[in-house]
């Protein structure tokens, strides 16, 4: 049985997704490696290096379900890599005539690296699809609540009024950027690896570059300027991107957890019978999605340094760093997709309590708009005097438990300069939102 909870039948329900588990699983990787072997045979047949019949037989035999996994495991344990055993079985399945042409001019790392790239390409397709769904859900929330006024908080204290739509737009903007980053990095990742034993394609002589070009075309991968056996930036960048993505998701989850606290209670995760419950406290509705966004994100963040450290590969073939990559890649993809799936639950089903937001906003009796009053007085009294007067009024309001507007009317400097209706206007939180709606429109405009 697997020892990683994300790979177990029970705990795996909490981590990752079945779609990504299948995509990044061992059988998928074996099939991708067989796909590379078959594509190599077809490319070389087109160039007249091997008989067309051999390429056809190799392609027909290249099915992972036909492999003897026990024998492959034994061969892998013996050689340290699965490719030797894989090629041996593929050759046998293709038949004696075709089998002698398998793996022609390639090296183990060519097959494994290109197989991993194909696997990561499929994984990034899943990541992108889920990310777009999260963004669409958040865009709907931002638009719906563009005018839902709430307390903006800095250092976990009331600061100035914002709208919930503005808060969601702050969540959404970096996720839109994540789509851009993903699209930009893919050409740097989705490149063919084919260089032969030391990266020079010496075994193919003058036909090396032609085979490389045909193989890249066959697999739909970019042609690199040089084999990247020991230049791992593309793979490391992809996992680093997952770390950035999870960082953004963690911020959203952290905000929602804080807003779900009983004393705040401004939002709630979508509810269903038993979700987020306690074995002893029937009233509990815990922020389950948020908790697993944060947990899975921390898992990804622990794997990013492992991938970046693996970039220090020695000479023309790494002795250890390359072997460390498989321990990180699949888990990073699985956990990141799991975090996205939980974020989608929030984006598409978050419950927003606008009335509670308003009550919390008004709980300080207008103190949250003290800056608005100061700015209203500044043209008359000067900024420093206005700050002093409003600060004193805030102290009085807090000490006596009265609204800020009432305390302001008791300030001699204020009472004679601002009429009551102007003080009422300045102490209305909905009148001090600045460019919040314009910022929301800018963010939503990026999606369109």
What is the three-class DSSP state of 263?
A: coil
Alpha-carbon separation of residue 381 from 372, 375, 388, 396 (angstroms): 14, 10, 10, 20
Pick the catalytic residue: 128, 217, 317, 425?
Answer: 317
**Active site annotation includes 278:** yes
Spatial contact of 268 and 286, defined as CB atoms under 8 Å apart: no
How far is C-alpha 332 from the chain's CA centre?
A: 10
How far is C-alpha 414 from the chain's CA centre?
A: 51
Query: What are the φ and ψ backbone dihedral angles of 37, each rounded to 5 degrees?
Result: -60, -45
Maximal C-alpha separation, the chain: 103
Per-residue tokens: 342: 């939980």
**Active site annotation includes 417:** no
Name 161's bridge partners: 151
Name the packing angle between helices 26-46 and 108-144 (round to 10°). 120
Query: Where is 77: in which H helix or E strand?
Result: helix 69-79
Per-residue tokens: 398: 């807090």
Q: How far apart are the C-alpha atoms of 393 and 314, rounded to whole Å?
A: 68
Pick the catalytic residue: 129, 278, 430, 435?
Answer: 278
Alpha-carbon separation of residue 311 from 38, 108, 112, 322 (angstroms): 29, 19, 17, 8
Alpha-carbon separation of residue 114 from 85, 167, 420 (angstroms): 17, 42, 73
Positions annotated as catalytic residues are 278, 317
């Amino acid at each position: 049985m697997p020892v990683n909870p994300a790979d177990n039948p029970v705990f795996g329900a909490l981590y990752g997704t079945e779609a990504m588990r299948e995509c990044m699983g061992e059988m998928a990787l074996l099939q991708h490696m067989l796909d590379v072997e078959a594509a190599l045979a077809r490319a070389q047949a087109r160039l007249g290096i091997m008989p067309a019949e051999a390429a056809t037989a190799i392609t027909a035999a290249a099915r992972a379900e036909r492999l003897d996994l026990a024998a492959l495991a034994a061969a892998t344990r013996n050689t340290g890599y699965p490719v030797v055993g894989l090629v041996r079985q593929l050759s046998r399945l293709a038949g004696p005539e075709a089998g002698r042409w398998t793996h022609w001019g390639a090296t183990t790392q060519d097959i494994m690296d290109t197989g991993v790239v194909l696997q990561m390409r499929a994984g990034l397709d899943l990541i992108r699809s889920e990310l777009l769904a999260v963004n669409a859900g958040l865009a709907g929330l931002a638009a719906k609540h563009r005018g839902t006024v709430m307390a903006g908080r800095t250092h976990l204290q009331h600061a100035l009024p914002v709208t919930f739509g503005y808060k969601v737009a702050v969540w959404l903007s970096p996720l839109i950027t994540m789509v851009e980053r993903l699209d930009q990095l893919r050409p740097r990742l989705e490149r063919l690896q084919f260089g032969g034993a030391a990266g020079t394609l010496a075994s193919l002589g003058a036909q090396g570059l032609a085979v490389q070009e045909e193989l890249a075309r066959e697999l739909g991968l970019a042609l690199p300027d040089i084999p990247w056996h020991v230049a791992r930036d593309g793979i490391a960048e992809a996992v680093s991107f997952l770390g950035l993505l999870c960082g953004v998701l963690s911020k959203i989850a952290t905000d929602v957890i804080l807003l779900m606290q009983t004393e705040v209670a401004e939002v709630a995760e979508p509810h269903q019978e038993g979700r987020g419950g306690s074995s002893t406290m029937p009233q509990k509705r815990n922020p389950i999605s948020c908790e697993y966004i944060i947990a899975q994100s921390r898992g990804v963040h622990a794997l990013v340094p492992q991938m970046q450290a693996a970039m220090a590969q020695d000479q023309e073939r790494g002795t250890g760093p390359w072997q460390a990559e498989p321990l990180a890649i699949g888990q990073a993809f699985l956990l990141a997709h799991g975090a996205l799936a939980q974020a989608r639950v929030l984006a598409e089903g978050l419950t927003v309590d606008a009335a509670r937001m308003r009550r919390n906003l008004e709980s300080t009796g207008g103190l949250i708009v003290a800056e608005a009053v100061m700015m209203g007085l500044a043209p008359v009294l000067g900024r420093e005097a206005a700050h002093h007067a409003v600060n004193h009024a805030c102290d009085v309001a807090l000490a006596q438990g009265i609204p800020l507007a009432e305390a302001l009317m008791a300030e001699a400097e204020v009472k004679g300069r601002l009429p009551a209706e102007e003080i009422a206007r300045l102490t209305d939180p909905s009148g001090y939102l600045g460019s919040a709606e314009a910022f929301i429109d800018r963010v939503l405009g990026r999606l369109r």
